[in-house]
Amino acid sequence: MAQVSIEDQSGETTLITLRIARYNPQKDDSKSFMEFEVPAQKWTTVLEAILDVKKNFDHSVAVRYSCRQATCGSCGMIINGKPRLACFTKISELNSNVVTVEPMNNFPIIRDLAVKFERLFDTHHKIKPFLIRDDTELETDAKEFLQSPEELEQYIQFANCIKCGLCNSACPTMAMDSSFVGPQALAQAYRYVADSRDKGKNSRLKIIDDSHGIWRCHFAGSCSQVCPKGVDPAMGIQFLRGYLLGFRS
């Protein structure tokens, strides 16, 4: 086990133990953990610590990342037991010298911390994540589809979804029901249903009104707890139920 030391913001040397889950489904029977002593400063993120391990100790650690600024949604993982974005989680905010990183729950593992996103993208695609209209604002002489601030307010927070999958990872129903649509897709269904420019409400509601659709949500609320972008999928799901029960139109 190698050790690298640096100075934290108070000038003292700080090392943290990074425990990384290692698992290759093609070779391993079960998940194991490797420990690395890595340096951490006040602003060091978990992703930077993992990349430090890849650079200095073990380049074979599999991790997916891209933007490093909580925009691409690639680096979702379980950090100290909670689904978080590695690039958006500072080690200092974890209040622990031991940081354990594991792949997200409810996703098949490709290797180590990298998981397959097929189910997330399939369910996202299934709910038709686009405006459905017969006309278009792209034609000559056509006017743009105007919207009032109040109409925008109805759905704007749901448009912040970056498809990182943390909500699906935290969802207890996703763990049990392999056919469940999931909070990410349901929140996106609400995003378009609530959009005043959209005319595809009925077709979208029909898709989610299924035995493995919106009614299987138990309202645990864990999806909303873990969203790094402040989206509240649990609230969107309740609003969608309002449409299906006739309380909203």
Which spans of this chain sit near other proteins (rule: CB under 8 A)? Answer: 173, 176-180, 209-213, 215-216, 244-245
Q: What is the closest distance, in whole angstroms, from the C-beta atom of residue 248 to other proteins in the complex? A: 13
Per-residue buried b or exposed e for 50-77, using 16+ beta carbons within 10 Å of the residue's own CB? bbbbeeebeeebbbbbeebebebbbbbb
Task: Select 37 or 177, whichever has its Cβ closest to other proteins.
Answer: 177
Q: What is the closest distance, in whole angstroms, from the C-beta atom of residue 30 to other proteins in the complex? A: 24
**What token pair was written down for 52?**
């430090």
Q: What is the closest distance, in whole angstroms, from the C-beta atom of residue 155 to other proteins in the complex? A: 21
Task: Select 8 or 177, whichever has its Cβ closest to other proteins.
Answer: 177
The Cβ of residue 237 has, within 10 Å, a number of other Cβ atoms equal to 24
Residue showing tokens 């978080």: 84
Q: What is the closest distance, in whole angstroms, from the C-beta atom of residue 210 to other proteins in the complex? A: 6
Task: Select 152 or 176, whichever has its Cβ closest to other proteins.
Answer: 176
Q: Within 13 Å of residue 186, how many CA atoms lie on the same side as its CB?
A: 32
Q: What is the closest distance, in whole angstroms, from the C-beta atom of residue 214 to other proteins in the complex? A: 8
Task: Select 90 or 212, whichever has its Cβ closest to other proteins.
Answer: 212
Task: Select 138 or 245, whichever has its Cβ closest to other proteins.
Answer: 245
147: burial class by Cβ within 10 Å (0-12, 13-18, 19+)? Answer: middle
DSSP state at residue 45: B
User: Per-residue DSSP letters for 79-121?
Assistant: ETTEEEEGGG-BGGGGT-SEEEEEPPTTS-EEETTEE--HHHH
Please name the amino acid found at residue 246: G
Stretch (H or E) spanning 39: strand 32-39
Task: Select 8 or 209, whichever has its Cβ closest to other proteins.
Answer: 209
Q: What is the closest distance, in whole angstroms, from the C-beta atom of residue 189 to other proteins in the complex? A: 14
